[in-house]
Chain A
């Protein structure tokens, strides 16, 4: 049960049940779609940029608890951040999930997002957690091609 609780932390389950910023934006300046063909997860992320700052951000889609909670917590973490700070956070998030021995410091700087550290032990689920981030990365860069995890 310990591995299980490590992965499905209460915060993750809570965001899965009640996702934040689960909506479309009326004033989006960037929009991207992400797709994981392995499990069929789909996420659309919209951002409203103003002077290089993310003034508003929202997402739509369907997926597993990990991808939904990741998208929800991502939007909460990025609102009000500059584009470069957002990219930096994405970089740290990816490092935490994919590189061994990256725990302590990186996770510490990720604040609430550190609850996803447990996903690293589940290689088949890492893409679930990173899909919304790849998608927001594309939305910030103004890409129009759908992003896939493959």
Chain B
């Protein structure tokens, strides 16, 4: 077992996460399924309890004190997210259910106006289904074409092929910041610059990046950025779509309903200003408050330090997994987040997953909502261990021991 050389006090951090002290099949939980969802620190759980116990009310409506408190809490969360992403204005922060809804919002509003017959939307071969299917639906409806940038055997995006793919008919680029199935960190800055040279807007799916990397939307220059609260140590059912003011203002609303209007008559409705134009109905106020608390927690720990520690763990886990006979890592790009997808020779990923589960180790086994990635590597499924700021060297050792059990059973 290795001990971290950094000043990262992982034992103290683990105390912040109650679920990490649970037992699974009589063994201490080793939670390595963070790319699916992350666990929640006390501050997030308490923020939810505190909101419902002391401030719960509807927002932007009541004249009473509770409604003012709820509205204040909701807008404070928005301001915190603005700082987290370094967005220029809080009106550029739209609350959605998660990254999936963020992408669908852009596809159904911006996309439906911008994409016509013969136009193109460019994505990459490593996208999650949520950054494939909304564009497929749009292209089908508008008779457009979905173009897919290839990846190499390491799982790295072919940037030259991407640049060559941008053309007269490209209306939008939609790319992941970090691949959920392979861990690849995409060169988004360069890809955004290349698109902008042709005045093509870019949406970045940041679901796997926001919990692990510092994101500065102004430095990146992206037009849209979206992420999910639950992968960022926050609650489920809440997420964020960032969009540049100029684009958001041109876009039609996504859903119609209360809160997204200024006035309604049967003849004409006047839509509300940003960001409310995109927030029809009573929002997930508690979720927003919980997400605000999660991002505050990450800011206190500092994302650069989180990234450095997770990288240390990744290097250690990569070395140990690579040394196991019959284990092959899928996704070996140089720039990687702490995701380890692998196949065990002669053993299906689901059998690996079940055996690890019985050892108390939670991993994901399957296609990771990225079936085209599995097809690209000619495999049915992988086992994926995805790490977070609270994982330890000892837990990596437990994973390796668990894989020893797999070998023992399957010979």
Contact = CB atoms under 8 A, between A and B. Distances in A.
Partners in one complex: yes
Interface of A: 1, 3-4, 7-8, 13, 38-41, 62-66, 122, 124-125, 128
Closest 3 CB pairs of A and B: A64-B348, A64-B350, A40-B380
A7 B380 contact: no
B350 A4 contact: no
A65 B366 contact: no
A39 B354 contact: no
B363 interface: no
A13 B25 contact: no
Contacts of A40: 366-367, 374, 380-381
B1 interface: no
Contacts of A41: 380
A83 to B, nearest CB: 31
Contacts of A64: 348-351
Given A4-B409, A39-B365, A122 B381 contact: no
Contacts of B381: 39-40
Contacts of B348: 39, 63-65
B33 to A, nearest CB: 13
A122 B380 contact: no
Interface in B245-260: none
Contacts of A66: 350-351
A40 B348 CA distance: 10
Given A39-B350, A40-B380, A128-B350, A3 B25 contact: yes
A125 B367 contact: no
The residue in A3, A4, A62 that gathers the most chain B C-beta atoms within 10 A of its C-beta is A4
B205 to A, nearest CB: 23
A124 B355 CA distance: 13
B361 to A, nearest CB: 13
A40 B354 CA distance: 16
Contacts of B25: 3
Contacts of A128: 350
Contacts of A3: 25, 358
A63 B374 CA distance: 14
B354 A122 contact: yes
B266 interface: no
Given A8-B409, A64-B348, A38 B366 contact: yes
28 contacts: A1-B405, A3-B25, A4-B355, A4-B358, A4-B405, A7-B354, A8-B351, A8-B409, A8-B410, A13-B409, A13-B410, A13-B411, A38-B366, A39-B365, A39-B381, A40-B366, A40-B374, A40-B380, A40-B381, A62-B380, A64-B348, A64-B350, A64-B351, A65-B348, A65-B351, A66-B350, A66-B351, A124-B354
Contacts of A4: 355, 358, 405, 409
B366 A39 contact: yes
Given A40-B374, A40-B381, A65 B405 contact: no
Nearest to A17: B411
A40 B372 CA distance: 12
A65 B410 contact: yes
Nearest to B379: A40
Contacts of A7: 354
Interface string B365-407: 1110000001000001100000000000000000000000100
Contacts of B380: 39-41, 62-63
A37 to B, nearest CB: 9
Interface string B335-355: 000000000000111110011
Nearest to B352: A64
A122 B353 CA distance: 12
A19 B28 CA distance: 36
Contacts of B409: 4, 8, 13
Nearest to A122: B354
B354 A125 contact: yes
A80 B319 CA distance: 53
Given A62-B380, A64-B350, A125-B354, 14 more contacts: A3-B358, A4-B355, A4-B405, A8-B351, A8-B409, A13-B409, A13-B411, A39-B350, A39-B365, A39-B381, A40-B381, A63-B380, A66-B351, A124-B354
